[in-house]
Amino acid sequence: MRIWLIVVLVALGIGVISIAAKAVFAGSSPPAVGSLAPEFTLTSQDGNPISLKDFRGKWVVLYFYPKDFTSGCTIEAHNFQRDQAQYAQKNAVVLGVSVDSADSHKQFCTKEGLNFKLLADTDHKVSGEYGSLMNFGVTQIAARNTFLIDPQGKIVRSYTSVNPNKHSEEVLAALTELQKGAGVAGQ
């Protein structure tokens, strides 16, 4: 009887672990390159509402990330922070989105010295609209996806399952290429 109980408990434990480890995408697919970026308003780490339309006339790096205070997300955020001056030179802003609360974002920004906007998608709506919501066990988190949006509000590049170690450099290179192609720096 004890051996049978141990076998059942082990099997249940393995099942729970495999469910928790499996990340499955939920919701819709990402908006297509060439389409208008879905509009949104979310609360930032400072408690203020931020809308995508607030940045018309600028390039927007809209990046989704799984969770504040985790290693990959911290690396990615540090790299975007490190490159803020280069983004500013390219007339670009970086906006990070996760399903964490604005308070969590505030603590994360304070601890990690981040000064760009992190947006709280606590109802998971925006992450879903951008095809960037995934199931992680019994909870949902944002997938590590990025959308590069031009000054007119059109998605010009999308990146899925990015490498947080080199992603900021990848986005900066794309901005340089796109701005050269447009013939006008920053536009």
Euclidean distance between CA atoms 183 and 164, whole angstroms: 30
Mean pLDDT of the chain: 87
Q: Do residues 158 and 147 touch, judged by C-beta distance below 8 A? A: yes
| Candidate list 73, 102, 114, 171, residue with the active-site label | 73
Euclidean distance between CA atoms 151 and 73, whole angstroms: 26
What confidence tier does 10 reach under pLDDT thresholds 50, 70, 90? very low
Question: Bridge-partner residues for 159, per DSSP?
Answer: 146
pLDDT score at 27:
55
For 68-123, the pLDDT digits (tens) are 999 999 999 999 999 999 999 999 999 999 999 999 999 999 999 999 999 999 99
Give the other-Cβ count within 10 Å of 24's Cβ: 10
pLDDT score at 181:
77
Nearest of 20, 41, 23 to residue 142 by alpha carbon: 23
What angle, 0 to 180 degrees and rounded to 10, lies between the N-to-C axes of helices 102-112 and 71-82? 60
Q: Give the H/E segment covering residue 136.
A: strand 133-136
Q: Do residues 103 and 122 touch, judged by C-beta distance below 8 A? A: no
pLDDT score at 22:
36
Is 73 assigned a catalytic role? yes
* Ramachandran angles phi, psi of 129, nearest 5°: -65, -30
pLDDT score at 167:
96
Mean pLDDT computed over 127-144: 93
Check whether 130 has a pLDDT greater than 70: yes
Q: What angle do CA 92, 51, 110 make, to 5 degrees?
A: 70
Mean pLDDT computed over 29-40: 95
All structural domains of the chain, each given as residue ranges with its CATH number in brackets, are 23-182 (3.40.30.10)
SS3 78: helix
Nearest of 92, 33, 94, 75 to residue 163 by alpha carbon: 75
Check whether 13 has a pLDDT greater than 60: no
